[in-house]
Amino acid sequence: MSHYYQHDVLVIGSGAAGLTLALTLPQSLNIAVLSKGDLANGSTFWAQGGVAAVLDAGDTVDSHVADTLDAGAGLCREEAVRFTVEHSREAIQWLIDQGVPFTRDEQHQEEGFAFHLTREGGHSHRRIIHAADATGAAIFNTLLARARQRPNIELLEQRVAVDLITDRKLGRDGGRCLGAYVLDRQTGEVDTFQARFVVLATGGAAKAYLYTSNPDGACGDGIAMAWRAGCRVGNLEFNQFHPTCLYHPQAKSFLVTEALRGEGALLRLPSGERFMPRFDPRAELAPRDIVARAIDHEMKRLGADCVYLDISHKPAEFIKAHFPTVYERCLDFGIDITRQPIPVVPAAHYTCGGVLVDQRGRTDLPGLYAIGETSFTGLHGANRMASNSLLECFVYARSAAADIVAGLAETRAPERLPAWDASQVTDSDEDVIIAHNWDELRRFMWDYVGIVRTDKRLMRAQHRVRLLLSEIDEFYSNYRVSRDLIELRNLALVADLMIRSAMQRKESRGLHYTLDHPGLLPQARDTILVPPTYAD
């Protein structure tokens, strides 16, 4: 039997952005936070780096802004960048106040800031505050513990949002988002969640690709639901790839740190031949996008499943001392990196585009907000700069929370919503179709809409995704929903939006590289897609 829930705020997603918003809202509000699986399954938990912010006495807002604009290849929205950076220090202070155990640096205590700051690619100053090399876990565990202490925050696991409920969907006047239909994986029923405000914090869509560093839930759910509800999306052609992810059937999403190349590791073909010197004079030390494109080129040229990262020429004790995590993790899979090369592939890492929002996280649909990787704020432009993404989560979550508070007085709870109608569907006995379509989608996205693109590859991808969407729609109409079906439906839709966005960009800028249009257009423009249901 399905259930009916009523909340002031429904937060779909339990990562950094969703938990920050829930904790920032007044404790007088009744809040639900939904997680697709177990609470710790999102991207936040696995983030290794840190949070970029203007914290050092020698750093400035203007410097952080300039670095971000430079990394974004001319496509960042400067007002969004400045807004984010100007609110960086207060966001970090909020995290410190919550109890996040950032790594301390007692040497600088007399200067009034006792935390260690590191520097990452693209940053001209030390401005990355971190908790050793597991910042995401430290932040997530702290925020989750805080949320569990709040009686007004209901944390619900194993809940998969199916679709948003809107006035338009119900044939009502008003044009608001009213709640969501949500699958309870434990009962198999679709419950109705009614809310005055709904927040999408579902992360990105890197699972559209065969190889990804992301956890299994990164299926673009929020982007797909917002699009179906009539919200515009932007810049979905920009997907950031990490060059070296461990290639092993059981390894899933283990990243092999770029520091190995910094300490002399060499990239080799299956034959043992080095190839990076042919692509860039800096060889293995070239920037991330160049290395990823070179690996992709060689894999496609040879039809190879992977290439190899070799540090075995270094002393074994040096390797174990400098890279204990990589050494132990590879050993788990039978690879001794002191004697063997590591099989690696590039992996989809971050979705730079998403649902269009303003500086308060508001989408085109009243009552609906999008924050974190789900959103397109204009901060990242054509290429995300390291450690700006977590900062975006905190700044925009806090801004959206403030906007929700400002709108409370004039926003009443919606009238009772109809329950999910499952009367015309049956249980599927053909789940093999879902599994096959899932594999097909991720493989052609990898081959045709990956690191290097051509017009022909994109046209082939579009043809295939349209066929898949038709099959999935027919399946969705006739059978009971499951997590796999919901995710496949969303992922195929977002893949279609990615392909359409890539086809519109007739240039190579940032993370979008096409052999047919290698140069830059004179003017940088965002790629904005408008759904058929969009209304001004």
Partners of residue 343 on adjacent β-strands = 308
Model confidence at 69: pLDDT above 90: yes
Model confidence at 192: pLDDT above 90: yes
Of 492 and 109, the one with more pLDDT: 492
Residues 369/24, Cβ–Cβ less than 8 Å: no
Report pLDDT for 42.
65
Query: What does the pLDDT look like over 169-179, one tens digit per residue?
Result: 888 877 899 99
Report pLDDT for 49.
67
Model confidence at 112: pLDDT above 60: no
Instruction: Give the chain's length.
Output: 536
Report pLDDT for 216.
82
Query: What does the pLDDT look like over 301-312, one tens digit per residue?
Result: 999 999 999 999
Residues 492/472, Cβ–Cβ less than 8 Å: yes
- What is the Cα Rg of the chain in Å? 23
Is residue 288 among the annotated active site residues?
yes
Active-site residue, selected from the candidate residues 288, 362, 384, 453: 288
Model confidence at 536: pLDDT above 60: no
pTM of the predicted model as reported, rounded to 2 decimal places: 0.92
Model confidence at 451: pLDDT above 90: yes
Report pLDDT for 125.
85
Q: Which of 358, 478, 432, 487 is nearest to 77 (CA)?
A: 358
Query: What does the pLDDT look like over 488-528, one tens digit per residue?
Result: 999 999 999 999 999 999 999 999 999 999 999 999 999 99
In angstroms, the CA 21 to CA 34 distance is 13
What domains sit in the chain, N to C, each tagged with a CATH number?
Answer: 243-348 (3.90.700.10), 431-517 (1.20.58.100)
Report pLDDT for 43.
67
In angstroms, the CA 287 to CA 438 distance is 32
Report pLDDT for 262.
77
Report pLDDT for 535.
56
**pLDDT band with cut points at 50, 70 and 90 for residue 252:** confident
Report pLDDT for 94.
97
- Mean of the pLDDT values across residues 105-109? 63
In angstroms, the CA 101 to CA 131 distance is 6
Across the chain, mean pLDDT equals 91
At residue 176, what is the residue type? R
Of 215 and 334, the one with more pLDDT: 334
Report pLDDT for 62.
96
- Mean of the pLDDT values across residues 249-258? 78
Give burial (CB, 10 Å; 0-12/13-18/19+) of 406: exposed
Query: What does the pLDDT look like over 3-46, one tens digit per residue?
Result: 999 999 999 999 999 999 999 999 999 999 999 988 766 666 66
Query: What does the pLDDT look like over 383-431, one tens digit per residue?
Result: 988 789 999 999 999 999 999 999 999 998 888 999 998 887 788 777 8
Q: Which two tokens stand for residue 493?
A: 């839709």
Helices and strands in the chain: count of H runs, count of E runs? 15, 18
Query: Which residue is listed with tokens 């969303």?
Result: 490
- Mean of the pLDDT values across residues 156-162? 97
